[in-house]
Structure 1
Amino acid sequence: MTAAFVLGINMAVAGIFAVAFTVVAATNRSARGAWWLALGCGVGIVNAGLEFLLRQQADPVPVSIAIFLVFLSALSFALIGVARHYRVEPPWTAMATIWIVTVLLVPVVFSMTYGSLSRLVLYQLPYFAMQALFGMMIWRSGRRQPLDLLLVALQAVGATLYLLKPLFAILVGTARTPQDYMATTYAAISQSGSVVVLIATGLVMLLVTMRDTTAEMIARSETDPLSGVFNRRGFERHAEAALAREGKAALIAADLDHFKQINDSFGHAAGDGVIAHFAAMLAEAAPSEAIVGRVGGEEFAVLLPAALLSDGRLYAEAVRAAFASAELPVLGVDRRFSASFGVAQWMPPETLPDLLHRADTALYRAKSGGRNRVCVALGDLPPTPVRGAA
């Protein structure tokens, strides 16, 4: 298999991935890095084309320098794309440093004897540094799912490959001139290694993009757009999963008091603002593992995993007091609001609907008892001692 044939495969693979990432970017706005990844693959096609053009040059230096810098550009664009996807800031300082060093290396590298070990090492050094940044950036993003770890491993392999290329050149020999590069065994080995890493990285990155896009779609389908917390579907799914994991939990049902009057007096926009403020208070006061959901118009539910009835009551009292004393100038509404709460302790093997029903029963007692208060489910209270009992 000749290097020219492998390079042609590289061009085709880069083109396929360029189209694939372009389609992803065009059809999914949340795929933040797809445009950059498509650009990186597109520039990779240009780089391969320059490799074919090099054979026709009487003076190979201009095209050789272009190949050197264009491929580094392709890596840079891909690095920005990966950073955007992982929602981290691209390592601009490190990238700028690599580019400055690379530009300074250009007159040095291309004045050296072609095929010498020192030239081979300096030529591959910027590629190694840029590829290493890929893995470091993904690792520092904190995402460690299997596909993310596989992507980090592939970047390590790619970076190592750049370090090994000078060794391969020494072992199998390389061309005497740049124009003869494509006819060497070293070129075939180098291009073969590159195409394997390119295909593997591209496929894994596409899988990562699809995984995260699917997760975002599920999250959007389970999130209430007004309050920013889970909708009923999302709350029930996550709450049931939490109950399956935990041995105990407390559930708080909450309802805004006299909400119809707010809408009637100040309009639905003001009512929406009150709902958003109340949801924010529920979420901010809850521990990180809590599941907060808007399960009705002005009705909310909060599941506190690994919590007791007393924990749920303390949480509900804290939110109740904060909300009742807060001044919420929502769309010109200058008044205070209140909410009522019902708290229930999960008692296995009851189901989530049973738990919600008991919390709602306690909530209705809080409503009928005057509102702006917290009531607990009677079934959770300890039995009252009987006087005279032994």
Structure 2
Amino acid sequence: MILILGLFSSVFAAIYHYDRKQRFSGWLAIAYASGLAAFLVDVNRSLFDTALVDMIAKAFFWGFSIALVAGVFSRHEAKVSSALIWVVVGLGSIALFWFGWIEPNIVWRSISSSITAGVILTIALPLLWQKRKGVLHHTFFVLFALLCATYFLRPLIVYGLLGAIHTPESYGSSIYAALLYGSSVLCGLTCGVTMIIMAGSDIIRKHQLASTIDPLTGIMNRRGLEKFVSTKIDTSDTTNNTTNTSIIMVDLDRFKGINDDFGHDVGDQVLKRTASIISTITSQLGIVARIGGEEFAIVLNVSDEADSIVVAQHLRLSLAAIEYAEIGCNRKVTGSFGVAMIGNGESFRAATHRADLALYQAKAAGRNCVREAQPSTTNGLIKPITHAADLTAGNVRELSDNCIPFPKRNAG
């Protein structure tokens, strides 16, 4: 028992030390340390005043339950009702005090202590039920429910069904103590192993996510985009029936000058703001990724080619409308855009290449404009935007930093 509790406390403490954001593991380290303290005090109760030692052991016992519940809520980023826990602990403390000194009765002390710990643990059951997904979460819910059940069933079995009675002197060799230690070892071992696996899976998932996210802007990076494409769009390098998918390549104009004139800190702020604007506008339409220094790629799910142009023009006008106090109101940050619709039987890579060529044409045309790549089956690759979807500033309502409205297209 000592070995199991000490081992799990050390393992969870090591996980928390490795990743301080794993507060779940920190709480579990406290839980198993409290369980270890409760066991050490409980087995040495004969050396001290029985009632006082019993109270201390049960306080650590409840500490195990409280820390375990806090860990569960922390892992799911939920807030535990501390008021409810304090009410339960308060009522349990009154019962312990009464049966410890007012009307001493070790049996009722055991019953009140066990029920209090069980009620505390039960607080986490509704959350675990809601968060069940996958075998691991279902397994942990079952084990946690069994752990809760032992606290209610143990006094019922020992004192109710078996009618066992013990004194403070005979507690160590009693059926209740044997059942307490046995069930604690079993539940502590199974729950501990499951929670270690869960903590490990959290760390693995975090690193997998970090490898696909750009740390500066918080949006996808090139690897994230490639992963998205491989699983959602282009699984065989030949994409069929994807005429509702378009690619927009964006490159900020003269961005190097901003870094040179105002420093990389200002440049980073511009990149963050740009990513935020693009993400806000396209959040319901597709995904955006930062694939280079000042280059972004957008994958949209749209009904036709004209809609892609509307989005690109709206993005262009939105970027140009933002004022940066760091660089002065007379200097604007603009972007050049290349748009390509994925054709039937065309790979995502080929469509991206056409969008890149369109982007280069936008740069050559003077920047701060949109160029559309012709379908790969046509003779010309690039064409300027001259039809009705070629928006002007008058088509876009006044923009704000936090909420950028979507423009209305002109009729005809």
TM-score normalized with structure 2 length = 0.81
Runs of at least 4 residues off by over 4 Å: 244-247, 305-308, 331-334, 380-383
**Structure 1 residues 236 and 108, CA gap change in structure 2 (3 angstroms):** same
Does residue 18 of structure 2 align to residue 27 of structure 1?
yes
* Contact 1:329–1:335 (8 Å) recurs in 2: no
Q: Select which of 164, 188, 192 maps to 2:182.
A: 192
Counterpart in 1 of 2:337? 341
Q: Select which of 89, 93, 106 maps to 1:99.
A: 89
| Structure richer in helix, relative to its length | 1
- RMSD, aligned CA: 2.8
Q: Select which of 352, 357, 363 maps to 1:361.
A: 357
Counterpart in 2 of 1:257? 253
Please give the alpha-carbon distance, in whole angstroms, between the structure 1 residues aligned to 2:300 and 2:91: 54
- What is the number of equivalent residue pairs in this alignment? 371
Please give the alpha-carbon distance, in whole angstroms, between the structure 1 residues aligned to 2:295 and 2:73: 39
Q: How much does 1:280 deviate?
A: 1.1
Q: How much does 1:380 deviate?
A: 7.4
Amino acid at match of 1:298: E
Q: How much does 1:308 deviate?
A: 4.5
* Contact 2:285–2:302 (8 Å) recurs in 1: no
Please give the alpha-carbon distance, in whole angstroms, between the structure 1 residues aligned to 2:293 and 2:247: 18
Look up the SS of the partner of 2:326 in the other structure: coil
Amino acid at match of 1:154: L
Larger mean CA deviation between 60-69 and 28-37 belongs to: 28-37
Please give the alpha-carbon distance, in whole angstroms, between the structure 2 residues aligned to 1:40 and 1:289: 45
Q: How much does 1:212 deviate?
A: 1.0
Counterpart in 1 of 2:168? 178
Amino acid at match of 2:107: G
Percent identical pairs in the alignment equals 27
Please give the alpha-carbon distance, in whole angstroms, between the structure 1 residues aligned to 2:284 and 2:191: 34
Q: How much does 1:14 deviate?
A: 0.8
Amino acid at match of 1:49: L
User: Any unmatched runs of 5+ in structure 2?
Assistant: 380-412
Deviations 1:339-382 (A, max 9, x none): 12222223354333223212212222332333222233210799
Counterpart in 2 of 1:229? 219
Q: How much does 1:139 deviate?
A: 4.5
Look up the SS of the partner of 1:273 in the other structure: helix
Counterpart in 2 of 1:386? none
Deviations 1:119-139 (A, max 9, x none): 654332211121112333445
* Contact 1:324–1:338 (8 Å) recurs in 2: yes
Does residue 42 of structure 2 align to residue 46 of structure 1?
no
Please give the alpha-carbon distance, in whole angstroms, between the structure 2 residues aligned to 1:97 and 1:380: 70
Does residue 359 of structure 2 align to residue 370 of structure 1?
no
Deviations 1:305-332 (A, max 9, x none): 5765344333322222211111122366
* Contact 1:98–1:126 (8 Å) recurs in 2: yes
Look up the SS of the partner of 2:23 in the other structure: coil
* Contact 1:109–1:123 (8 Å) recurs in 2: no
**Structure 1 residues 240 and 52, CA gap change in structure 2 (3 angstroms):** same
Look up the SS of the partner of 2:169 in the other structure: helix
**Structure 1 residues 147 and 76, CA gap change in structure 2 (3 angstroms):** same
Please give the alpha-carbon distance, in whole angstroms, between the structure 2 residues aligned to 1:258 and 1:155: 58
Does residue 144 of structure 2 align to residue 155 of structure 1?
yes
**Structure 1 residues 294 and 173, CA gap change in structure 2 (3 angstroms):** same
**Structure 1 residues 356 and 227, CA gap change in structure 2 (3 angstroms):** same
Does residue 275 of structure 2 align to residue 279 of structure 1?
yes
* Contact 1:24–1:34 (8 Å) recurs in 2: yes
Q: How much does 1:92 deviate?
A: 1.7
TM-score normalized with structure 1 length = 0.85
Q: How much does 1:15 deviate?
A: 0.6
Amino acid at match of 2:281: A
Counterpart in 2 of 1:320? 316
Amino acid at match of 2:257: Q
User: Any unmatched runs of 5+ in structure 1?
Assistant: 1-8, 384-390
Please give the alpha-carbon distance, in whole angstroms, between the structure 1 residues aligned to 2:285 and 2:166: 64
* Contact 2:343–2:375 (8 Å) recurs in 1: no
Q: How much does 1:61 deviate?
A: 1.1
Please give the alpha-carbon distance, in whole angstroms, between the structure 2 residues aligned to 1:107 and 1:310: 76
Counterpart in 1 of 2:325? 329
**Structure 1 residues 95 and 288, CA gap change in structure 2 (3 angstroms):** farther
Please give the alpha-carbon distance, in whole angstroms, between the structure 2 residues aligned to 1:143 and 1:317: 44
Please give the alpha-carbon distance, in whole angstroms, between the structure 1 residues aligned to 2:302 and 2:180: 56
* Contact 2:96–2:112 (8 Å) recurs in 1: no
